[in-house]
Amino acid sequence: MHQLTVLILGAAGRFGGAAAQAFAQAGWRVLAQVRPGRRPPTHAHPAIEWLRQDLHHHTTLQQAAAGATVVVHALNPRRYTDAAWQRQVPELAEHAASLAQALGATLMVPGNVYGYGSQLPAQLSELTPPQPDHTKARVRVALEQHLQDRAQHGGPRTIVIRAGDFFGAGSGSWLDLVLAKDLQRGKLTLPGPLGVPHAWAYLPDLAQTFVRVAEQRERLPAFATLHFQGHTLTLDDWVAGLQGVAGPLRTQAMPWPLLRALGLVSPTLRSLCGMRYLWQRPHQLDNASLQGLIGTEPHTPWPDALHQALRDLGHEPRLQNAHA
């Protein structure tokens, strides 16, 4: 049987690394591109082949990735500022789409809920109209529209899989940067009110979903959007879950007024404050179309996902002490 080949762009990142692992475990040949100077993730699957060609060296990378039938675009701007997004998100996606087209491959892209805007409804399906009313929302909507236009006019088949906030598979998420930042000191920081449902994506599950959708890609049109439901959790769930594994914890509110003031001189904090609404607006992703394509969505039970996410962040000693 011919082995399928996938090219992961940005495989040293959290989602890229999880995707490389999932495809390798499913028996695919994995070509994992990393930016020059970036180290591959530790404990990576031994069968992964690492490519250190720069994304801008299009011909060289195309030659190294010959035979790939799927390209996973896992690259992100280096900074979270609106200016970086406006400049780099379209540029990175254009490189990925051009490379997929040159290879004759399907392009797969992780999406988010930003395009629904600050008044996003509680239930989000692929038919929910976008309402881009801030910079990052406008960037995402314009990007997906461009990829759709390109796919429908001779470009590569493109699949966007939209998901909530990432957790698991290492650092760089709301879990470690905010919620559990002071876990070792017995404190939790809450970015919003309790009781508001919020969409989360446990990365190993999302990565497995990419594999299963890739295996069914021929059943999809030139451009398709699918929703990954993941875990819909309130901050009450996080408090209970973290206290269940780490013992009693003090909670404190995220200092949004201070961050907003600091945002006057910090573009990163200004951009972060612009996303506060996601903690105030209940939202959940409807995955009916996804499950119609692949069957039951990969789903690690919440307690298991939480425990593994904390271990990935190096909180194992505290977990062991809590269970002693």
Structural domain boundaries enclosing 10: 5-170+200-231+282-299
Residue range 50-85, pLDDT digits in tens:
998 888 888 899 999 999 999 999 998 878 777 878
In whole angstroms, how far apart are CA 212 and each of 27, 67, 114, 206? Answer: 12, 19, 25, 10
pLDDT value, residue 147: 96
- Report the C-alpha gap between 74 and 33 in whole angstroms: 10
- Other residues' Cβ atoms within 10 Å of the Cβ of residue 275: 16
> What is the per-residue pLDDT across 197-248, written as a single tens digit (0 to 9) for each?
999 999 999 999 999 999 999 999 999 999 999 999 999 999 999 998 888 8
Q: What is the DSSP letter of 48?
A: P
Short-list 215, 313, 18, CA closest to 32 = 18
Q: Is the pLDDT of residue 40 over 80?
A: no
pLDDT tens-digit profile of 120-137? 999 999 999 999 999 999
> Cα(277)–Cα(128) distance, rounded to whole angstroms?
18
Cα–Cα distance between 104 and 66 in angstroms, integer? 10
Residue 58 included in any domain: yes
Identify which of 89, 283, 222, 72 has the alpha carbon closest to the alpha carbon of residue 161.
Answer: 72
Predicted local distance difference test score (pLDDT) of residue 239: 94
Query: Among 167, 320, 169, 173, which Cα is nearest to 247's?
Result: 320
By C-alpha distance, which of 110, 104, 65, 84 is closest to 230? Answer: 110
CATH number, domain of 98, equals 3.40.50.720
Whether the CB-CB separation of 210 and 161 falls below 8 Å is answered with yes
Greatest Cα pair distance, the chain, in angstroms, is: 61
Global pTM exceeds 0.85: yes
> 151-207 pLDDT, tens per residue?
999 999 999 999 999 999 877 788 888 888 888 888 999 999 999 999 999 999 999
- Three-class DSSP category at 162: strand
| pLDDT score at 154 | 93
Domain contains 319: no
**Per the domain annotation, does 143 fall within a domain?**
yes
In the predicted model, is pLDDT for residue 2 greater than 80?
no
Q: Which residues contact 45 (CB under 8 A, 6 or more apart)?
A: 20, 21, 24, 25, 30
What tokens were used for 34? 């990393």
Domain count, the chain: 1
Q: Does the residue 242 lie in any domain?
A: no
What pLDDT, on the 0 to 100 scale, is given for residue 74?
95
**What b-and-e string marks burial along 11-47, b requiring 16 or more CB atoms within 10 Å of the CB?**
bbbbbbbbbbbbbbebebbbbbbbbeeeeebeebeee
pLDDT for the residue numbered 289: 97
Is 293 in contact with 219 (CB distance < 8 Å)? yes
In a domain, 32, yes or no: yes
The per-residue pLDDT for 1 is 53
At residue 316, the pLDDT reads 61
Reported as a single tens digit per residue, the pLDDT across 268-312 is 888 888 999 999 999 999 999 999 999 999 999 999 999 999 988
Percent pLDDT > 70 in the chain is 96
Q: What are phi and psi of 251, to 5 degrees?
A: -110, 145
Cβ(16)–Cβ(10) below 8 Å: yes
In a domain, 147, yes or no: yes
Check residue 321 and give its pLDDT. 45
Query: Would you tell me how many other CB atoms lie within 10 Å of the CB of residue 294?
Result: 19
Residue 220 resides in a domain: yes
Residue 89 lies in a domain: yes
Residues 101/40, Cβ–Cβ less than 8 Å: no
